[in-house]
Amino acid sequence: MKSVAVRWGYVYLMMLIIVVGIGFVAQKERRQLSAYKEQYEQLEQERVRLSIDYQKRLSDRAVARWAEDHGMIPLSKGRWAE
């Protein structure tokens, strides 16, 4: 009877160690997931900001203004200048 109790005690101890190990791994992965979620939110905010900036820079008026600053003459002014 005693040897059976010792064997079951070892099985219980091993199962307890396995459960504790799984708990530590789960907590570590939970912290990593939390960090990844925060990083994702920051990247998403940056993407939105860059998208708005991209739209501002490439709007029709912004492109026309840039072209005029670099020497383009609008067709309406160029035709009447002759």
What average pLDDT does range 20-27 have in this prediction?
Answer: 96
Residues in contact with 64: Cβ distance below 8 Å, sequence separation at least 6, in sequence order: 74
Helices (H), the chain: 2-57, 60-69, 75-81
Whether the model pTM is above 0.85 = no
Task: Compute φ and ψ for 59, nearest 5 degrees.
Answer: -70, 160
**pLDDT value of residue 80:** 58
Cα 41 from chain centroid (whole Å): 6
Mean pLDDT, the chain, integer: 88
**pLDDT value of residue 57:** 83
**pLDDT value of residue 62:** 83
